[in-house]
Amino acid sequence: MNLFDLKGQTVLITGASRGIGKALALGFRDMGAIVYGTGSKESSIEWMHSENIHGRVADVSQVGTILPIIEEIKSKHEKLNCLINNAGIASNTPAVAFKEEEIYKIINTNFVGTFRACQAYYKTHKLLGGNIINISSVLGLVGYSLSSVYSGTKGAVIQLTKSLAAEWIGNNFRINAICPGFIDTDMNKMIKDKPQVFDKVANNIPMRRLGNPEDILGAAIYLASSASSYVTGQIIVIDGGLTSLLR
């Protein structure tokens, strides 16, 4: 018996066009899962067509974008086995300099978009059960300069995960979260492009390096599979040891 078997399982990954989401999409595909991935525009999902990943355009900050995709998956495959809420945006704006538009764009993408996706999944699967993995961040656990609104949304995702896990357990839903540390993606390009900033960040990580997007895959496979059938409402931190120093 392979507890980590995902063959034939349907998985929807939001924000799968690049970075962590792309690594998860390719990794789950390689595990035999039927993978659907979203990107905010058509050009961002073009690569999926040749990689046996079902790309769909969806801006999670907008109302009603994820529900039709979940309904499509349910219609074609009878059930969506796992929803991975990965779509997110960040900003290095000083707290005092935030404009209203930027504040609400981050909130609507990182938190409200995640909540809406969870809600849509539950509404369509409350008689079938489900499995949700929310991608939060270590910055939802600890304070860090220039991350005020982003950290607030990621902390909210952690509490959302715990609350939904308690509320929906009666309908056979499991909801867990993964908190990546500093990962080598486009979102952290600013860190890599500034040697002094990179050295400061890297020196605060016991493993002395940024994580790779693929470093998140093992935990996601565990949470998506029957190996974690007794796990819900939990937060898995993958950060090279960073929060062991900061918490």
Q: What is the mean pLDDT of residues 70-82?
A: 98
The overall average pLDDT reported for the chain is 94
Tokens 């093992």 -> residue: 218
Is the model's pLDDT at 161 over the cut of 90? yes
Q: What is the pLDDT of residue 202?
A: 79
Share of the chain above pLDDT 90, in %: 86
Distance, CA of 13 to CA of 45 (rounded, Å): 12
Q: What is the pLDDT of residue 197?
A: 66
Q: Which domains does the chain have, with CATH numbers?
A: 10-246 (3.40.50.720)
For 24-54, what is each residue's pLDDT tens digit?
999 999 999 999 999 999 999 999 999 999 9
Q: Is 0.85 surpassed by the pTM of this model?
A: yes
Is the model's pLDDT at 247 over the cut of 70? no
Distance, CA of 171 to CA of 1 (rounded, Å): 26
Percent helix, strand and coil across the chain, each to the nearest 5: 50, 15, 35
For 141-158, what is each residue's pLDDT tens digit?
998 888 999 999 999 999
Three-point CA angle 29, 71, 226, nearest 5°: 45
Rounded alpha-carbon distances, angstroms, from residue 152 to 12, 106, 167: 25, 10, 22
Q: What is the pLDDT of residue 196?
A: 67
Q: What is the pLDDT confidence band of residue 88, given thresholds at 50, 70 and 90?
A: very high
Q: What is the pLDDT of residue 97?
A: 96
More confident residue, 146 or 64: 64
Is the model's pLDDT at 174 over the cut of 90? yes
Q: What is the mean pLDDT of residues 95-100?
A: 96
CB 177 within 8 A of CB 161: yes
- Active-site positions read 150
Q: What is the mean pLDDT of residues 97-125?
A: 98
Residue 40, SS3 per DSSP: coil
Is the model's pLDDT at 16 over the cut of 70? yes
Q: What is the pLDDT of residue 144?
A: 84
